[in-house]
Chain A
Amino acid sequence: MSDFPDPEEEFELMYGDELELMDEQNLEDEDIAVLPAPNARKSLDFNTPTKTNSQSDENIDHNASFVSGCLEIDNETVGVTTEKETERIETTLHTDLNDVNHRKRTVNELFGDVDDLFETELDEIYSAPKKLCEDEKYKKDMNLIKLIVQKRNDYKQTHNLNSIGINTNPVSRDLERNKRNISLEVPKYPFIRIKNFAKENIYIRYHSEKYEEDESKRIVKESNSVGALGDNFQKVLNEAQEMIYKETTEQLTENRDIEMVEESNKDNQLWVELYKPKRYLELLSDESTNRTILRWIKLWDKVVFHRNPKIKVTQPLPSDNKKFFKFNELNTKLDEHGRPEHKVVLLCGPPGLGKTTLAHMVARHAGYNVIEINASDDRSIDSFRTALENATQMHSVIDREKRPNCIVFDEIDGAPPPSIDYLVKFIQGDVKPKGRKSKNKENTPSILKRPIICICNDVYVPALRPLRQISFVINFPQTSSVRLAERLVEICRRQQIKTDMGAMTALAEKSNNDIRSCLSVLHFFKTQNKPIGLSDIYKTNIGQKDMQKGLFTIWKEMFEIKRMRKLTGGSSAPAMKERMQNILSLIGSFGDHERVAQGVFENYPNLNTNINLEDTAHALDWFCFNDIFNKQIYTTQNYTLMGYLNYAFVVWHFAFARFQKEKITYPSAGYEAKAKALRQKAIVAEVLRGMSPLVRSYNSAIPLLLDSLPQIIRVISPPLRPVSLHLYSEEEKNSLLRVASIMADYNLNYIQQRKPDGAYEYNLEPNIEDLVVFDISNNRRKLPSYSNRQLIAREIEAEKMRRFEAQSGKNSVETSKVVNKKSEDSRQAVDASKKPELPNHLQRLKSKTISQKSVGKAAVRKDFFGRVIKCPAPSPGKSAQNALKSDIWYQYKEGFSNAVRKTIKIHSLK
């Protein structure tokens, strides 16, 4: 019994807030729950008591625990209680403060949101303010509370089995806490009114200062539970403090080291430029590669320099060289024009190996003038054409040595595919030269007479496929680390940096043998003027590039937990934090989020392991999030949000990854579905397109698909006997005609098609069966048989022909009718004879001999006004002469007739 608070305290716990309110109305001698002291005010500026709080609900002050930055505080709503109350408050403060607040929170935490329990009883309180509730009610409430507590505990137990390690409870707890502390209407607890930017009133609850401390401690404690997000808050804080301390101490020492660096080179060049090889022998790349290219360029000598190239009889190459020329060997044969078999050489390899340098060097060495076209130039087809023509057909005027040109296309994997196609055509000589009006028959296309060197990073880009087929592909091997390290040591010696071979080797390896980035790193280190040791190389985080791993590697990492060797032997899973960091860095450096996400989405149901539904639901929520975010990013073009997408991969990893290896398939279902959707849409469009107009005006795509087509497909499959047409009864004939007519209206037909095994079948065209029939096992539909379909198809054709004839017949009758009407409208003249008889004015002609020109065609002829003249050709006697063909014609004389008047006598006229 003593475990539970006795009824009075219990009552206080539950109804403390309401009691305060009550007390404002009638001051009582009860112990009330606490209003903390006025000295708890911090920054709010209060007026002296201006209003009594008999009317207002407002109470004093604390800091609202939940003021967010964007709210403006409306000061005047904060009232102040009377002095009397504050005194009393102070006296009760110390006694009750600790207990009640402490207990207050635990009660709330324990019960969660039980405010609804209070709602009903509030009325009773207000109606009987002075009485406490009876004991029986307490007991009933106690039992109820016990039951609720128990249920909630059970719920939490089942809910907390979350292997993702994310505690879903705080979320709901937060929500409930918010419900208790913020409201949009005037609440019953002490509050402050605040206006947000939408000019709405928000009421925020006051708590004591002690509450605030406790809350912050609780938050800290909660955040100490280690999720996947990393370490304990405390640990992180400590680490941060250490780092700050270290940096401050270090900075002092470093400041002395940095002096003014004297530039040893006068024009402040980049080392990359400075140490570029200027002679062939200074090249860093593999010797055989260099020689191959040089040999290839020399093959052009016949055409360009008109001297025979020294072709050595090549023995079959030793096998260890084969790994460089895996796909094609240098074909030293010349074609009919004297050019080498491969007109283009394609150098490919990762960046920073020296490909561009090599190309330039070799070309210069062989006696050419290099023209470079790289990614910074406009590479549309026209510019390509101009550049190619300039290079191959002209030579530089400035160049005094009159060197022939050699073209280097750098970074060609980024060129637009049409340009690359044009290049291929140009190389093969299929391009007609522009603007040449060839009067002679033979239009010799210009052939390529100069070598072309192309450089790319990734040779398997689809745009380069045509180029790859006709060119000599050289895969650039990586520079050997040793060689690179030697060169770096040499450079350091020249630049007076103290270092050793080991450090340079490490640097070379770290940058993946990319000399450019090594040089940049060295240049950077030079500013610090310190000797470079091995540890410096390892510590520094410059010079590290994004590692491009393949898609499948990433998926493997997503779905598999790597085992780590423990020091004591055996293996275990790495810590959550480490796994998370790993995934984040992996995804961050890869880049193609969408494909990876699609792969995860399509592969996770196929995993062998047993994933529980909760985790899957959670993971799918993140898929939804991903989708919504993507759409948002693309519509608002706010690409800064893309950083958040990486965390979705972390969640998926934690949800799906297991120790065993999984088979991963490339996600094609999404793309296939899209393609199929387009096809089906086209079917509906086809139906709509060919519909007869009367039906078309009542149908549009969606109702057609949803309502009409599923039923039409039943309507057009009536049960017909599979016999020949003339054996049908009247009724069956009618139904057949009906079906045919409906199908003709809706642009459906049966078309005979050949099946792969040779048999013929009639298929519905457009194939709405495909569209509206889903694979329902209890298919009640009886599709028409082959012979039935044949019958129906024939009927449809007959119906269509009938309609067409009716249409064209109607057309001619219609036009004549229309024409008649038109003639009436436009000619509001007299003697309008509606009937196409002989017009009145022509009747005279009968009495005179006029040459009757027989009318040519018996077809519908119209006179000037468009009236149809029915002139039957075979009776020339009645043939009305066309007014247009009279004998007399009029010749107009230009001029004015009002001037000259001459008197004429009659006899002069004779």
Chain B
Amino acid sequence: MPIVIKPCDDGLREEYAFIELQGDLKSHSETAFDGKFVGDLHFSKSGTPLLIIGHHLMYGKETKLDKPFALLEKCQEDGNVTYKVRCVVKNKIIFKTRPKPIVGA
């Protein structure tokens, strides 16, 4: 069965990037992760990305993916499954370092 991939027709090109973490995201309550607020992503003046999750703070690096990824959105129309290409992801932000703790004010 062919998988049809269509480019996005609205012309909007949002830019997406991966955030790659070396670790797990856990939840205190066992609810799903949907729509939950995870953390803050900031960028410093020199362009270093800064990720704050809970009381952790990590510095990362923005790198280019060797193989770009495409973000596909599944559109199901009466049995036809098409995938719309939302965007092509070329960059990722990888957080490799051990997070630093934030002491509460």
Contacts and interface: CB of A to CB of B under 8 A. Distances in A.
A200 interface: no
A841 B23 CA distance: 23
Interface in A851-883: 861-864, 866, 883
A845 B28 CA distance: 17
A883 B53 CA distance: 8
Interface in B26-83: 26-29, 31, 33, 35-40, 42-45, 50, 52-57
B28 A883 contact: no
Interface string A871-898: 0000000000001101111111111010
A848 B57 CA distance: 24
A890 B40 contact: no
Contact of B52 (A850, A883, A887, A897): A883
A577 B74 CA distance: 133
A900 interface: no
B27 A887 contact: yes
A861 B104 CA distance: 10
A844 B42 contact: no
A845 B25 CA distance: 19
A311 interface: no
Contacts of B55: 884, 889
A50 interface: no
Nearest to A861: B105
B71 to A, nearest CB: 14
A845 B39 CA distance: 11
Given A848-B35, A892-B99, A883 B26 contact: no
Contacts of A863: 105
Contact of A829 (B36, B42, B57): B42
Nearest to A819: B105
Nearest to B35: A848
A886 B26 contact: no
B24 interface: yes
Contacts of A829: 42-45, 50
A861 B105 CA distance: 7
A864 B56 CA distance: 11
A887 B36 contact: yes
A269 B98 CA distance: 87
A831 B43 CA distance: 10
B5 interface: no
A890 B35 contact: no
Given A893-B24, A897-B96, A888 B53 contact: yes
A850 B36 CA distance: 8
Contact of B105 (A830, A841, A866, A887): A866
A888 B43 contact: no
A894 B98 contact: yes
A897 B61 CA distance: 14
Contact of B56 (A850, A861, A890): A890
B45 A828 contact: yes
A862 B99 CA distance: 21
A889 B25 CA distance: 6
B53 A889 contact: yes
Contact of B22 (A828, A864, A889, A895): A895
A890 B24 contact: yes
A890 B42 contact: no
B22 A892 contact: yes
Given A841-B40, A888-B27, A890-B53, A897 B22 contact: yes
A807 B105 CA distance: 24
A895 B24 CA distance: 13
B28 A887 contact: yes
A505 B41 CA distance: 112
B21 interface: yes
A864 B105 contact: yes
Given A828-B44, A864-B52, A844 B37 contact: yes
Contact of A848 (B23, B36, B42, B56): B36
A888 B25 contact: yes
Given A830-B42, A830-B43, A889-B54, A884 B104 contact: yes
Nearest to A869: B105
B8 to A, nearest CB: 21
Contacts of A897: 22, 96
Contacts of A844: 37
Contacts of A892: 22-23, 56, 98-99
B105 A890 contact: no
Interface string A809-840: 00000000000000000001111000000000
B4 interface: no
Contacts of B39: 883, 886, 888, 890
A862 B102 CA distance: 13
A407 B99 CA distance: 72
A884 B102 CA distance: 8
Given A864-B52, A887-B36, A893 B22 contact: yes
Contacts of B21: 890
Given A829-B44, A884-B55, A884-B104, A889 B37 contact: no
- Residue of A829, A861, A862 contacting most chain B CB atoms (<10 Å): A829
A889 B26 contact: yes
A888 B54 contact: yes
Contacts of A841: 40
A540 B13 CA distance: 127
Contacts of B53: 886, 888-890
A622 to B, nearest CB: 76
Nearest to B102: A864
A894 B96 CA distance: 9
A388 to B, nearest CB: 56
A891 B44 CA distance: 23
A560 B24 CA distance: 107
A504 B76 CA distance: 142
A149 B50 CA distance: 108
Nearest to B40: A841
Leading 7 A-B pairs by shortest Cβ distance? A862-B105, A892-B23, A890-B53, A889-B54, A893-B23, A828-B45, A891-B24
Interface of B: 21-29, 31, 33, 35-40, 42-45, 50, 52-57, 96, 98-99, 102, 104-105
16 contacts: A829-B42, A829-B45, A830-B43, A831-B42, A848-B36, A850-B36, A883-B40, A886-B37, A886-B53, A886-B54, A888-B25, A888-B39, A890-B54, A891-B25, A891-B26, A892-B99
Given A830-B43, A886-B39, A891-B24, 19 more contacts: A844-B37, A848-B37, A864-B102, A883-B52, A886-B38, A887-B27, A887-B28, A887-B36, A888-B27, A889-B27, A889-B55, A889-B56, A890-B24, A890-B39, A890-B99, A892-B23, A892-B56, A892-B99, A893-B22
Interface of A: 828-831, 841-842, 844-845, 848, 850, 861-864, 866, 883-884, 886-895, 897
